[in-house]
Amino acid sequence: MKFRRKSTPSHRGEPSASVDEGPVAPERPVPAAPEIGPFDIDSVPDGLITGDWVDLGSMMLAPAPGKELRLQVDEKSGQIAAVMLTAEDGAMELRAFAAPRDGDLWTESLPMLREDVQQRGGATADLEGPWGTELITQMKVKLPEGQPAVQQTRIIGVNGPRWMLRATMLGRPAMEPTAGKEWEKLLEQVVVCRGDEAKPKGEALEVKLPPNARRVEK
């Protein structure tokens, strides 16, 4: 199931930060926003989000010229399971999850991801990337014409305040560092909107359909 979307304006709160004060220590400066994203909605650099961004509820995405936004829907539940940015040379899947305030859900997730791939007959390898340890996977698949092939993916995990964002690159972005750079730039601009409600660790954050999106049948 696919959806195409039209640009819609977004309205979110301004970034907030706190200043630590003490009776003896000098006042500390307000923490600066991270230089690169993905960002939390409360630490977005001034001016980053503009009216042509796409608001998906738990995620906000910058315009991506040459890419198509698709929302993967679970046919049984009817809920949106993942966000996909696609192009002729590959794709990037985005999923956001609830995480402990001071935890490292990505490090906890890595062994389970490795085991899942290996149990299905695939191979895995770790790679140090811009956001730390990444997982490279290779799975044997059959092409539409029936020929055997190997599909490689590059899985990136980013820990945020009470959330984790997982990005999975497929196609050339997963195999060629040069091609992957363009997709890394898109990942750097993702904004995660965790919300204040309590959620179990590892629960997927809800993705909402943009109001002006239209359904495209396969």
What confidence score (pLDDT) does residue 102 get? Answer: 85
C-alpha distance across the termini of the chain, in Å: 7
Q: Is 203 exposed, middle or buried (0-12, 13-18, 19+ CB in 10 A)?
A: exposed
- Confidence grade of residue 209 (pLDDT, cut at 50, 70, 90): confident
Instruction: Find the angle CA(171)-CA(54)-CA(34) to the nearest 5 degrees.
Output: 80
β-pairing verdict for 2-4 and 214-216? antiparallel
- One-letter amino acid at 98 equals A
pLDDT at 5 over 60: no
Q: pLDDT digits over 26-56, tens only?
A: 333 344 445 789 999 999 999 999 999 999 9
Report how far residue 80's alpha carbon sits from residue 83's, in angstroms, rounded to the nearest whole number. Answer: 8
CATH topology of domain 39-64+80-204: TATA-Binding Protein (3.30.310)
β-pairing verdict for 123-129 and 214-216? unpaired
What confidence score (pLDDT) does residue 60 get? Answer: 96
What confidence score (pLDDT) does residue 186 get? Answer: 96
Of 8, 2, 7, nearest to 70 by C-alpha is 2
Report residue 113 as tokens. Answer: 């991801």
Of 67, 74, 105, 107, nearest to 187 by C-alpha is 67
Name the average pLDDT for the chain: 84
188-201 average pLDDT score: 95
**Phi-psi region for residue 58, left (φ > 0), alpha (ψ -120 to 50) or beta?**
alpha
- Confidence grade of residue 9 (pLDDT, cut at 50, 70, 90): very low
CA-atom Rg of the chain in angstroms: 19
CA dihedral 38, 42, 45, 49 (to 10 degrees): 80
Q: pLDDT digits over 157-166, tens only?
A: 999 999 999 9
Listed by start position, the domains of the chain span 39-64+80-204
What confidence score (pLDDT) does residue 212 get? Answer: 65
pLDDT at 25 over 70: no
Of 114, 134, 117, 137, nearest to 126 by C-alpha is 134
Do residues 133 and 114 lie in contact, with contact meaning Cβ atoms separated by under 8 Å? no
- Confidence grade of residue 14 (pLDDT, cut at 50, 70, 90): very low
